[in-house]
Amino acid sequence: MKKLLMTLTILFTPPTWADDPKYYVEYKNEWSLNSWDYKSTQQFMRFGVEFDKWYIEAGPMLSGAGNTDISSEVGSKFKLTDRLQLKGKFETKADDAKLETEIRYYFH
């Protein structure tokens, strides 16, 4: 609980240079499969703040086994040209972490 309160305090104290913060709460449910067989379920309740080109969120997660831990995510999105966009995020779930990047091209 102490870890969650510290994370939320940092989260809701944005830097002074940050412009127009938008605060939100998000519920997320992940249902994992392995070779089309049920593997696990995880539920997340994250509190976040979004700025012009980036966001950060954190909160408790509950696994299917009933274990509770902290999860967090920070990400950004940049428009490189009218047709090209770069997105990236870093996400933690208990002791696991992943870095995800996307490059999107629009055919307009």
> Are the beta carbons of 25 and 45 closer than 8 angstroms?
yes
pLDDT in tens, 45-91: 999 988 888 899 999 998 877 778 889 999 998 999 999 999 999 99
E-strand ranges in the chain read 22-34, 37-50, 54-63, 68-79, 84-93, 96-105
- 103 pLDDT more than 90: yes
Distances (CA, A) of 25 to 13, 40, 90: 16, 23, 18
- The pTM (predicted TM-score) of the whole model is 0.71
pLDDT in tens, 23-34: 899 999 988 888
What are the residue ranges spanned by the domains of the chain?
Answer: 2-105
pLDDT in tens, 2-41: 665 666 566 556 555 567 788 899 999 988 888 888 888 8
